[in-house]
């Protein structure tokens, strides 16, 4: 089962949910003899989609690795989810795939999921093949799908073939590369080769000539031969198209019916003959700037792109051998933590089944189990040759929820389960909000978190609660205010005394120095929660001794950490301490710390206090027909629309929206657009809340504060 690098093809199958990826893959495995009968999604017996959750929802939720032999080659196939809630399961396979196959639903054409994966394909510079699938559907529209594909992928997207008819009558494919017509029987499978009808010969020849020109343009020797002879041999054509595909200068478009087993064999043949092997791909960039060639004679390096866990088995690691020859028993070092790992067992994956092997050459995909300290995104290398691959950068969370166990005694078990799942899914984030002290889980969408909840409760037995997190507001001031505050306490023995005169102002970079004050010293401090404190010491004549500066600043900082309006942190404030009094016996650090806190609070209330709310930049990609509804929904959320651009038949909307208005936005957007839109969000800044909302927030805080007392 060990395959030389030149005979490997690593293919990730991508596409919007409902484009028929899993059914097409099942047919590809059947065509290659990897399985004896095709399973179906409805029967829950496909090679991929093998988990209980996927059976329940009848859709792909996780990536699945498998392989199929084809002539002398081995084609590794990775099935990926179509929902953008599970984008991490798409990005990881793209890190190690040498070719991507994008499936389009012939009834829907280019969908938002297509545009999403295309962005990552461009980022990873992965060669791409497109297939317009489900061409047999009664509502299939080949011309529309082709037009939208060429609009998204550009002029380099060229049809290799096209259907003679679509819909229920589909059974004939004109192949412009081989200049033949494939005619299928009612059960699909192996077609009969027939001459191209006279009515189609001119169209087929024009497409064929385009393919010849693409092949010639990508290799100087072939261009010369083409000019001299006016044509290219089949071998030359294959060589030129391989180069064009490998360098992303060519995106071939096929047509298939995965359900009826029509066209999948031709697609497999093209992958086998034309798609690049790992040897044809550029050297891989390492973190230190060096490059790593895919060479089986080099020292061993592998990259773990996915981990998962199974009962009775433990942690399973999916990886690509980037260099060298990996053998059972090899000991490798984890470049990320320095731990040594022994590869005790080595497998190749066929969905949930694993086949034991003794070695794997560079470029191949494999599986091992029970690594003690290695997870997704880790590089393992030969002890004497340290190397670290540039890690995958996963997207930021698009939805956040407060997470807690229904029974507080289950808290430890809950977080142990979450941490195990996070090792498998790097797009999950878990943190303690320093402002609200809540445990917050972040994911890619509501479906992502719903399935997380379902999985945790099933695996651990812990009943958990997911709810909207508290908003981390900030407080600031808009005016200047002076105040005098005295702290005095006498309780027998030594008392407490400290009097402070200070000024507070809104602070911004580049502002003028305080007027009318004698500045002795000052410092600008970046606050842990964001924003700044400018602290000015302007005491003259020894009214307050310099030894109390630290205590005074500490008192101010404590009050800023829990602001006077809502208990939220304060930011961007300048405090100038310019006068005061002290007592020779009763003054001490605690006295001035309390006096400073009281003075700051009093001055803050005089200085036009304002609450700031977090604003997020939203980028939404919406179909033209849904744009009006999406815009109306944004306006109801107090959004500020900053721009719109056309992207094919989609509209890209840029907006700034308060976080308080984004609860369940992913679910609402999916409902508005029928799941055809996508969005990303990123913290922008903090801005003033409207007066009516500030009043509500202050009243709510005062009420809760009184209840606690």
| CATH number of 550's domain | 3.30.230.10
Q: What is the mean pLDDT of residues 159-174?
A: 95
Would 80 be classed as within a structural domain?
A: yes
Whether 152 and 80 map to the same domain: the answer is yes
Whether 276 and 294 map to the same domain: the answer is no
Calculate the average pLDDT of the chain. Answer: 92
**Spatial distance between the Cα atoms of 482 and 500, rounded to a whole number of angstroms:** 11
Would 112 be classed as within a structural domain?
A: yes
Contacts of 450 (CB under 8 A, 6+ apart): none
Whether 367 and 435 map to the same domain: the answer is no
Terminal alpha carbon distance of the chain: 72
Q: What is the mean pLDDT of residues 1-17?
A: 92
Count up the domains in the chain and report the number.
Answer: 5
pLDDT tens sequence across 396-449: 888 899 999 999 999 999 999 998 898 889 999 999 988 888 999 999 988 899
Would 645 be classed as within a structural domain?
A: yes
Whether 338 and 487 map to the same domain: the answer is no
Tokens 């964001």: give the residue. Answer: 530
- For residues 109 and 224, the model is more confident at 109
Reported confidence tier of residue 9, pLDDT bands at 50, 70, 90: very high
pLDDT tens sequence across 440-480: 999 998 889 999 999 899 888 999 999 999 999 999 999 99
Q: Above 90 in pLDDT, residue 219? A: no
Helix ranges (DSSP H) in 354-428 = 411-424
Asked if residues 539 and 577 have their Cβ atoms less than 8 Å apart, the reply is yes
Q: Above 80 in pLDDT, residue 367? A: yes
- Give the pLDDT of residue 492: 67
Would 178 be classed as within a structural domain?
A: no
pLDDT tens sequence across 660-686: 999 888 889 988 988 778 888 889 999
Whether 677 and 579 map to the same domain: the answer is no
Q: Which among 13, 259, 267, 265 is positioned nearest to 136, based on CA atoms?
A: 259
pLDDT tens sequence across 231-267: 777 788 888 899 899 989 999 999 999 999 999 999 9
pLDDT tens sequence across 118-147: 888 988 999 999 999 999 999 999 999 999
Helices 112-124 and 88-96 cross at an angle (nearest 10°) of: 40
- Boundary residue ending a domain (607, 640, 675): 607
Contacts of 458 (CB under 8 A, 6+ apart): none
**Spatial distance between the Cα atoms of 365 and 36, rounded to a whole number of angstroms:** 23
Asked if residues 146 and 169 have their Cβ atoms less than 8 Å apart, the reply is no
**Spatial distance between the Cα atoms of 569 and 557, rounded to a whole number of angstroms:** 10
CATH of the domain at 680: 3.30.70.240
Whether 616 and 678 map to the same domain: the answer is yes
Whether 39 and 111 map to the same domain: the answer is yes
Would 641 be classed as within a structural domain?
A: yes
- Give the pLDDT of residue 708: 62
CATH of the domain at 420: 3.30.70.870
Bridging pattern class, strands 521-526 and 532-537: antiparallel
Strand (E) positions, 609-649?
609-623, 640-647
Give the domain range for residue 516: 475-607
Asked if residues 54 and 62 have their Cβ atoms less than 8 Å apart, the reply is yes
Got the DSSP string for 29-43? HHHTTS-SS---TTT
CATH of the domain at 366: 2.40.30.10
Tokens 């360098």: give the residue. Answer: 247
Q: Above 80 in pLDDT, residue 493? A: no
Would 244 be classed as within a structural domain?
A: no
- Give the pLDDT of residue 313: 83
Reported confidence tier of residue 707, pLDDT bands at 50, 70, 90: low
Q: Above 60 in pLDDT, residue 709? A: no
Whether 377 and 410 map to the same domain: the answer is no
Whether 77 and 147 map to the same domain: the answer is yes
Q: Above 90 in pLDDT, residue 53? A: no
Asked if residues 517 and 614 have their Cβ atoms less than 8 Å apart, the reply is no
Q: What is the mean pLDDT of residues 535-556?
A: 94
pLDDT tens sequence across 604-647: 999 999 999 999 999 998 888 899 999 999 999 999 999 999 87
Q: Above 60 in pLDDT, residue 209? A: yes
């Amino acid at each position: 089962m060990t395959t030389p690098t030149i005979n490997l093809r690593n293919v990730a199958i991508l596409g919007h949910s409902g484009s028929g990826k899993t059914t097409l893959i099942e047919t590809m495995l059947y065509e290659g003899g990897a399985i004896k009968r095709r399973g179906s999604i409805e029967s829950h017996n496909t090679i991929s989609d093998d988990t209980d959750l996927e059976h329940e929802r009848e859709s792909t939720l996780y990536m699945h690795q498998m392989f199929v032999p084809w002539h002398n080659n081995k084609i590794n196939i990775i099935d990926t989810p179509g929902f953008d809630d599970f984008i991490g399961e798409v990005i990881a396979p793209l890190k190690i795939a040498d070719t991507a196959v994008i499936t389009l639903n012939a009834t829907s054409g280019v969908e938002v999921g297509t545009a999403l994966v295309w962005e990552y394909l461009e980022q990873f510079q992965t060669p791409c093949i497109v297939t317009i699938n489900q061409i047999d559907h009664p509502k299939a529209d080949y011309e529309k799908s082709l037009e939208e594909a060429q609009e998204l992928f550009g002029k380099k997207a060229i049809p290799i073939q096209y259907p003679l008819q679509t819909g229920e009558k589909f059974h004939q494919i004109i192949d412009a590369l081989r200049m033949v017509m494939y005619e299928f029987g009612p059960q699909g499978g192996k077609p009969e080769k027939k001459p191209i009808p006279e009515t189609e010969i001119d169209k087929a020849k024009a497409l064929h000539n385009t393919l010849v020109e693409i092949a010639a343009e990508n290799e100087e020797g072939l261009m010369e031969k083409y000019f001299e002879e006016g044509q290219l041999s089949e071998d030359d054509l294959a060589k030129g198209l391989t180069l064009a595909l490998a360098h992303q200068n060519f995106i071939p478009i096929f047509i298939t019916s995965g359900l009826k087993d029509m066209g999948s064999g031709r697609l497999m043949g093209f992958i086998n003959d034309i798609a690049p092997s790992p040897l044809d791909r550029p050297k891989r960039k390492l973190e230190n700037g060096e490059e790593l060639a895919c060479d089986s004679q080099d020292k061993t390096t592998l990259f773990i792109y996915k981990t998962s866990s199974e009962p009775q088995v433990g942690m399973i690691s999916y990886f690509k051998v980037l260099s060298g020859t990996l053998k059972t028993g090899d000991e490798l070092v984890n470049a990320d933590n320095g731990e040594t790992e022994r590869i005790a067992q080595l497998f190749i994956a066929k969905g949930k089944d694993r086949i034991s092997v003794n070695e794997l050459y560079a470029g191949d995909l494999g599986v091992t189990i029970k690594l003690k300290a290695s997870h997704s995104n880790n590089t393992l290398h030969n002890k004497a040759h340290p190397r670290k691959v540039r890690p995958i950068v996963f997207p930021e969370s698009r939805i956040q929820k407060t997470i807690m166990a229904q029974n507080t005694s289950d808290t430890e078990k809950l977080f142990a389960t979450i941490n195990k799942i996070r090792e498998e899914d790097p797009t999950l984030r878990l943190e303690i909000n320093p402002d609200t002290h809540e445990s917050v889980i972040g994911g890619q969408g509501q479906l992502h978190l719903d399935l997380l909840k379902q999985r945790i409760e099933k695996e651990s037995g812990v009943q958990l609660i997911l709810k909207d997190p508290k908003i981390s507001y900030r407080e600031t001031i808009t005016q200047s205010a002076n105040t005098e505050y005295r702290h005095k306490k006498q309780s027998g023995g030594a008392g407490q005394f400290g009097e402070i005169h200070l000024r507070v102002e809104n602070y911004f970079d580049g502002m003028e120095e305080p007027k009318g004050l004698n500045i002795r010293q000052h410092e600008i401090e970046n606050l842990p929660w964001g924003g700044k404190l400018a602290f000015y010491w302007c005491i003259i004549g020894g009214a307050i001794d310099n030894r109390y500066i630290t205590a005074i600043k500490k008192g101010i900082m404590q009050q800023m950490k829990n602001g006077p309006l809502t208990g939220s942190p304060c930011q961007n404030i300048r405090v100038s301490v310019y006068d005061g009094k002290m007592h020779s016996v009763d003054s001490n650090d605690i006295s001035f710390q309390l006096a400073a806190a009281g003075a700051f609070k009093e001055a803050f209330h005089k200085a036009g206090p304002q609450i700031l709310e977090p604003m997020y930049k939203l980028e939404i990609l919406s179909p033209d027909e849904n744009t009006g509804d999406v815009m109306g929904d944004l306006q109801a959320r107090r959004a500020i629309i900053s721009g719109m651009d056309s992207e094919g038949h989609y509209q890209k909307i840029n907006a700034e929206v308060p976080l308080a208005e984004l609860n369940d936005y992913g679910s609402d957007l999916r409902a508005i657009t029928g799941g055809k839109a996508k969005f990303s969000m990123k913290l922008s800044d903090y801005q003033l809340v409207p007066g009516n909302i500030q009043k509500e927030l202050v009243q709510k805080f005062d009420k809760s504060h009184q209840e606690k007392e």
